[in-house]
């Protein structure tokens, strides 16, 4: 059966098959907002896959546990590689660079282990201390 030229078959992050409608017609029940939401989900899934692929290409095993620990002093210049998790000894706010974007995690408790991969920086504005990178 030929593909409908008005739709684009895709798979969502959950694996469901969905036909993305090109230029939905409101008269036929199509809604542009639904198409935009679905497209955003597809793009987010693609970014996650590409991020994992770049770690694999860099030689980072995504399944194995950490094999090294590195004390981390907050810095806007120091670049971290191969981080699998971040341990926060003394709580506070943690500002991380992940995938080129700064992310602020507020009110992290003492002794918290955060399973975050792809961290490249622990920014200077971080108020948490006794930070250790699990690699």
Q: What is the mean pLDDT of residues 5-25?
A: 63
Q: Show me where the domains of the chain are located.
A: 7-57, 69-134
The pTM of the whole model exceeds 0.75: no
Residue 129: the pLDDT is: 96
How is residue 26 annotated by DSSP? G
Q: Which residue has the tokens 């250790």?
A: 132
Angle at 87 between CA 104 and CA 79, to 5 degrees: 65
Residue recorded with tokens 């981080």: 83
pLDDT mean across residues, the chain: 78
Q: What is the pLDDT of residues 108-122, one digit of tens each?
A: 999 999 988 889 999
Cβ distance 19 to 9 under 8 Å? yes
């Amino acid at each position: 059966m030929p593909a409908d030229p008005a739709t684009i078959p895709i798979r969502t992050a959950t694996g469901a098959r969905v036909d993305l409608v090109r230029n939905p017609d409101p008269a036929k029940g199509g809604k542009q907002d639904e198409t935009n939401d679905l497209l955003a989900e597809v793009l987010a899934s693609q970014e996650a896959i590409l991020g994992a692929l770049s770690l694999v290409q860099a030689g980072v095993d995504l399944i194995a546990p950490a094999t090294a620990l590195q004390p981390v002093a907050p810095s806007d210049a120091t670049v971290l590689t191969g981080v699998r998790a971040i341990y926060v000894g003394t709580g506070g706010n943690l500002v991380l660079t992940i995938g080129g974007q700064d992310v602020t995690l507020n009110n992290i408790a003492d002794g918290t282990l955060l399973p975050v991969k792809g961290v490249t920086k622990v920014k200077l504005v971080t108020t948490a201390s006794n930070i250790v990178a699990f690699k």
